[in-house]
Amino acid sequence: MAAELATPPADLRQFLRVSPDEAFVSLDLAVDGIKCAACMATIERAMSREPGVVGARVNLGAKRLHVTFERREADPARILRRLDELGFKAYPFSPRQVEDSKAQEMRRLLRCLGVAAFASMNVMLLSVAVWSGHETGLDPTTRDLFHWLSALIALPTAAYSGRPFYESAIGALKRRRVNMDVPITLGICLALVMSVFEVLRHGEHAYFDGVVMLLFFLLIGRTLDQVMQRRTQLVAANLAALRAEFATKRLPDGTWRDVPIDMVEPGDVILVRIGDRVAADGRIEEGRSDIDQSLVTGETAHRAVRPGDEVYAGTQNLGGALVVRVLKSQEGTLLAGVERLLAQAAQTKGAYIRLADRAARLYPPFVHTVALLTFLGWMMMGIGWHDALMIAITVLIITCPCALGLAVPAVQVVAAGAMFRNGILIQSGDAIERLAEIDRVVFDKTGTLTLPAADIANREEIPAEDVMLAARLALTSRHPLAAAIAAQDKAAKPLATAREVPGEGVKACHAGQVVRLGSPAFCEAMPEAEALATRFPGASIVAFRHGERLALFAIRQPYREDAEATVAALGTMKLPTEIISGDRPRAVAEAARDLGIANWRGGALPGDKVTWLEQMKRFGARPLMVGDGLNDAPALAAGHASIAPASASQLAQTQADFLLVGQRLGAIVPAIRIARKARWLMLENLWISVLYNLIAVPVAILGHATPLVAALAMSGSSIIVTLNALRAGRGAGEKS
Amino acid sequence: MNILLILIPLALALGGLGLAAFLWSLSNRQYEDLDGAAWRALMDDDTSPLPRPEDGR
């Protein structure tokens, strides 16, 4: 049968990328364990000695390795082996299209920023001369020369560096909407036209400096926004690669081969070995087994399956090898249901509007009305349309949202950095604001409050010699529960006579007697096992029989080390906690009692979780959902904010606003604290911008906003806002 | 005022030089790994730097 097959080597060729001139191929690897410069040097030196390798470069920030080979001598498997010898686990991946386009976008922004920085420095150099010339009597010819030079620099710069804003503004107008970039574009264009016009008629004031400086500050805001998104993406992509998702697929000639999961299509036949995760939804064609569905449903009791039953991606195969025919995901009832719930949750969630967007919505009508009124007002005062228009345009320039554009992104970048140092990864832009508003925390149990790996709960009740012998037996089995027992004695050696009885356990001869480890039925221990199961409601029972001796292991997932401390810390922050789990009510009740959580619900289907959260929201509550399973994905989408551990199912990870990197659940606490502080600073920054306008706009309306005043006001407010944002990372990040 | 005819082009040229250097380092991918670059300066290996990634990344 298929189970006896040796593991075929994974096909690494599809990860290779061919260079345009076809002489070289390259491979990208996410490398686990790169910590310092020494690792970087070790890897690069070792790689450059491998035959066929032309170059190897480690990206220390992204924890990645890029290797280039001679095309004919490329041997990626060898590279992986060498890295393994050096003590680094490496996982090949193909950089996603999104990531490439984001990197390009980032470079484009940086180019625009560089050009704007150059232009504002040089235009300012000329402008300072003009301004001081007003006092010292600069002769008009020289002033005109300086203005023309400024125009020569500012016009191409505005055409080049302003493109991100123009494109976004035109895009918005095409969709018949108005965003922040519309008044920016309008302001820039009007200011340039007016300045050129002024220079032509030898006027005193030109606003070229204001325009390039405005572009410079706004581009800083945009770039900061991108920096945050990019950092998140890099780490998320590495996490995905680290999970190394392979499936064993049957090829047309009947042989089996490991392929990356995205190459498995409906109709394919895959092999799921004992202990493996099922790679795709499908129907069993051959084999019987027990399936651990805890990552999918939260249920810790195992489900027995046989040919004809459906199995879901992400569940773990415990009993025997299975041959599965892959179904379309629509046909898998569970996933289809989860997806329907997700769409529903996304609809109800649409209500949240970011702080920056709320500000942006108020901004254009306000600015345009004020500018128009100023124009009409001065016309009525009878100063002539030229002067009235000049003043109206200075109002447009001076209200341009430098500070507003920086107010939120600057805080977000600083807060994201502080969270990153605490082991929290932000996945969506408005997540910080939403996390700051939460008033209760809802946990999933399995995989969230507990660790994904199992452990023995009643260890101290079992004689040491039984544990040792059981550990030796367990080494022969690939069953995940056996791994928990085998881990008890690191020095154990497998028994020579041991052999696995598929779906039941392990049997061996030891000191003239038969020893068995496996299901209670296999060891004839049903009544005892039932008694133990009532004492440990959440546990799976494994029996061990050695002649007359009998030992029963209650195996369950232990709580995360800091689960109880986290719940307590949330309590002191006046955040009530709840558990809502798909596991049996008895097991959930036990966890709630152990961790000191008063409210709990067990046996909840994915839909129940969503309903429960929506009910809370209807009563005005803002729940933070913390969960990991496929069944939690809709609930994560429905929560006001959501967090998933890095071990979570892929769907849960894509739905969560934040990812916990590492085992610590406690990172939630500083994350909430940082988010609250960040939201406070964002509001503060927005108010600083408003205050700035309250002072600057009347000055402009009265016609006193010379280019010098505009330059001071705009740069001053931007710098204040940025300095204020730097406070987001301080103080809040201390380890609890 | 004739001095301006020398000084202004000079100032612009110096600024332009800086801009050109920035754009060159950007297209040379020197900002991809700031953490690593900080340490590379301290290493005294004689290994030649990697040829430009050829595959357009």
Contacts of B20 in chain A (CB under 8 A): none
pLDDT band at A643 (very low <50, low <70, confident <90, very high): very high
Say which CATH architecture domain A1-94 belongs to.
Answer: 2-Layer Sandwich (3.30)
Question: A652-674, pLDDT tens digit by residue?
Answer: 877 888 888 877 888 899 999 99
Q: Å from B21 to nearest chain A CA?
A: 10
pLDDT at A95 over 70: no
CA distance A489 to A486: 6
In eight-state DSSP terms, residue A346 is H
Does A68 contact B40 at a Cβ distance shorter than 8 Å? no
Question: A539-558, pLDDT tens digit by residue?
Answer: 778 888 888 888 888 888 88
pLDDT at B57 over 50: no
Does B15 contact A121 at a Cβ distance shorter than 8 Å? yes
Does B36 contact A122 at a Cβ distance shorter than 8 Å? no
Of A23, A40, A125, the CB nearest to B39: A40
Kindly state the average pLDDT of the residues A110-137: 90
Averaged pLDDT score across all residues of chain A: 82
In eight-state DSSP terms, residue A95 is P
Topology of the domain covering A423-451+560-666: Rossmann fold (3.40.50)
- To which residue do tokens 């604001």 refer? A433
| CB neighbourhood size of A573 (10 A) | 11
Three-state secondary-structure class, residue B16? helix
Does B57 contact A21 at a Cβ distance shorter than 8 Å? no
pLDDT value of position B55: 41
Token pair listed for A487:
């881990």
pLDDT at B27 over 70: yes
Kindly state the average pLDDT of the residues A595-612: 86
Domain A455-556 in CATH: superfamily? Answer: Calcium-transporting ATPase, cytoplasmic domain N (3.40.1110.10)
Q: Å from B29 to nearest chain A CA?
A: 9
Kindly state the average pLDDT of the residues A36-53: 84
Query: For A597, phi and psi rounded to 5 degrees?
Result: -105, 125
Strand duo A246-250 + A322-326: pairing: unpaired
In eight-state DSSP terms, residue A432 is H
pLDDT band at A399 (very low <50, low <70, confident <90, very high): confident
pLDDT value of position A4: 35
A702 touches chain B (CB under 8 A): no
Kindly state the average pLDDT of the residues A201-210: 86
| CB neighbourhood size of A592 (10 A) | 23
A330 touches chain B (CB under 8 A): no
pLDDT value of position B28: 85
Query: For A619, phi and psi rounded to 5 degrees?
Result: -85, 15
Give the start-to-end residue ranges of the domains of chain A.
1-94, 101-232+358-411+677-729, 245-338, 423-451+560-666, 455-556
Of A21, A37, A95, the CB nearest to B54: A21
Kind plus residue range of the DSSP H or E element containing A668? helix A668-701
Question: A172-201, pLDDT tens digit by residue?
Answer: 889 887 777 888 888 889 889 989 988 998
Kindly state the average pLDDT of the residues A84-103: 75
pLDDT at B56 over 50: no
- Positions of E strands within A409-467: 424-426, 440-443, 455-456
pLDDT value of position A578: 92
Comparing CA positions, the residue from A208, A203, A36 lying closest to residue A120 is A208
Interface test with A, best of B7, B25, B29, B33 (most A CBs within 10 A): B33
Kindly state the average pLDDT of the residues A3-25: 63
Instruction: Report the residue of chain A nearest B52, measured CA to CA.
Output: A55
Strand duo A499-501 + A505-510: pairing: antiparallel
Contacts of B39 in chain A (CB under 8 A): 36-37, 40, 60
Interface test with A, best of B42, B47, B57 (most A CBs within 10 A): B57
Token pair listed for A621:
């509550």
Asked if residues B24 and A67 have their Cβ atoms less than 8 Å apart, the reply is: no
Comparing CA positions, the residue from A718, A714, A15 lying closest to residue A396 is A714
Q: Between A and B, how many residue pairs show a Cβ–Cβ distance under 8 A?
A: 85
pLDDT value of position A716: 85
| Percent of chain A at pLDDT exceeding 70 | 91
Token pair listed for A385:
């349309």
pLDDT at A253 over 90: no
Kindly state the average pLDDT of the residues A10-24: 74
* Residue A491 vs residues A42, A478, B43: alpha-carbon distances, Å: 31, 18, 41
Does A37 contact B43 at a Cβ distance shorter than 8 Å? yes
Question: A291-329, pLDDT tens digit by residue?
Answer: 877 766 767 777 888 888 888 877 778 777 888 888 765
pLDDT value of position A41: 84
pLDDT at A410 over 80: yes
Question: What's A245-338's CATH class?
Answer: mainly beta
A122 touches chain B (CB under 8 A): yes
Catalytic residue annotation of A? 444
pLDDT value of position A7: 38
Question: A468-480, pLDDT tens digit by residue?
Answer: 888 888 877 777 7
Q: Å from B38 to nearest chain A CA?
A: 9
B55 touches chain A (CB under 8 A): yes
Three-state secondary-structure class, residue A619? coil
Q: CB-side exposure of A240: number of CA atoms within 13 Å?
A: 18
Question: A430-451, pLDDT tens digit by residue?
Answer: 888 889 999 999 998 888 888 8
pLDDT at A2 over 60: no
**Same CATH topology for A245-338 and A423-451+560-666?**
no
pLDDT band at B17 (very low <50, low <70, confident <90, very high): very high
CA distance A450 to A453: 9
pLDDT value of position A735: 43
Looking at per-residue pLDDT, the higher value among A354 and A637 belongs to A637
* Residue A467 vs residues A482, A484, A487, A510: alpha-carbon distances, Å: 12, 11, 10, 14
Does A58 contact B36 at a Cβ distance shorter than 8 Å? yes
DSSP string covering A363-393: HHHHHHHHHHHHHHHHHHHTS-HHHHHHHHH
Asked if residues A199 and A388 have their Cβ atoms less than 8 Å apart, the reply is: no
| CB neighbourhood size of A489 (10 A) | 17
A40 touches chain B (CB under 8 A): yes
- To which residue do tokens 């558990």 refer? A579
Asked if residues A727 and A674 have their Cβ atoms less than 8 Å apart, the reply is: no
Which has the minimum average pLDDT: A152-161, A202-211, A369-378?
A202-211
- Identify the top-confidence range among A234-243, A451-460, A566-575: A566-575
CA distance A504 to A498: 13
pLDDT at A349 over 60: no
Contacts of A37 in chain B (CB under 8 A): 36, 39-40, 42-43
